[in-house]
Amino acid sequence: MKLTEALAWRYAVKAFSPREVEAETLRGILEATRMSASAYGLQPYRMLVIQAPEVRRQLLEHSYGQDKVLHSSHLVVFAAHTALGTDAVDHYIQRAAASRNVPVSELDAYAQQIQGALARMSAAELVAWTKNQAYLALGNFLTAAALARVDTCPMEGFDAAGYDRVLGLSQQQLTTAVICPVGYRHADDPHAGYPKVRKPFGEMVAELGQ
């Protein structure tokens, strides 16, 4: 399926069928998402894949009644880091040096640049910034799923503090950024037939200096 066809096919599913997404298919979507770009390459978030109904039932209490968090094949929680210490940068630099087969010392200046940028952020700015990276991953997740003909519903309609409590995220210096139930659309979901609502191309794209 072509990319634009996949993007036209996908929509924010309101009702999922009971059909499960195969582990291999979901793995492929998560693999594609793992390739997402991120600022400095730090990938400051995690993707938590939740299937257990008892956990999802607890999360439903913090989802403003949106029961697709329970009635879908899987729930993916994009959790952003709330703190990034020198160790996070050190790990990244070590990984980069190993991947590129260069000594760590060659990346010293880059490491300093990253540390400096992080140090200049307030705690609130840092979380806003790590959440931005998680949203970029969410975009790729939606597209990768659509290409695999797997349905999704990106969701901001939840209480992050409640999710963090249920999932024990604060202790791990993580917070819920955005969530995404995954599965297959229910045959009775009326939203499946709704036409796409999008701004016209000319309203969205400005070609300057032509």
Ligand X SMILES: Cc1cc2nc3c(=O)[nH]c(=O)nc-3n(C[C@H](O)[C@H](O)[C@H](O)COP(=O)(O)O)c2cc1C
Which residues sit at the interface with ligand X, rule CB under 6 A? 11-12, 14, 66, 153-157, 178, 196
DSSP state of 39: G
Minimal distance in Å, beta carbon 21 to ligand X? 18
- Separation of alpha carbons 28 and 110, rounded Å: 31
Q: Which residues contact 142 (CB under 8 A, 6 or more apart)?
A: 10, 152, 154, 180
Q: Which is nearer to ligand X, 118 or 186 (CB)?
A: 186
Q: Which amino acid is at 24?
A: E
Comparison of 100 and 198: residue with beta carbon closer to ligand X: 198
Tell me whether residue 98 or residue 161 sits nearer to ligand X (CB atom): 161
Those residues with Cβ within 8 angstroms of residue 4's Cβ, 6 or more apart along the chain or in another chain: none
DSSP class of residue 190 equals: G
* Contact of 154 with 138, CB cutoff 8 Å: yes
Closest separation in Å from C-beta 26 to ligand X: 20
In the bound state, the residue with its beta carbon closest to ligand X is 157
Round to whole Å and give the CA distance between 130 and 94.
20
Altogether, the residues listed in the chain come to a count of: 210
Q: Which is nearer to ligand X, 68 or 81 (CB)?
A: 68
Beta partners for residue 50, in sequence order: 75
Q: How far is the CB of 24 from ligand X (least distance, A)?
A: 25
Shortest distance, position 85 Cβ to ligand X, whole Å: 28
Whole-number Å distance between alpha carbons of 66 and 155: 9
Closest approach, Cβ 170 to ligand X, in A, equals 22
- For residue 174, give the nearest of 126, 136, 142 by alpha carbon: 126
Q: How far is CA 141 from the centre of its chain?
A: 6
Whichever of 66 and 115 has its CB closer to ligand X, that residue is: 66
| Residue among 58 and 66 whose Cβ is closer to ligand X | 66
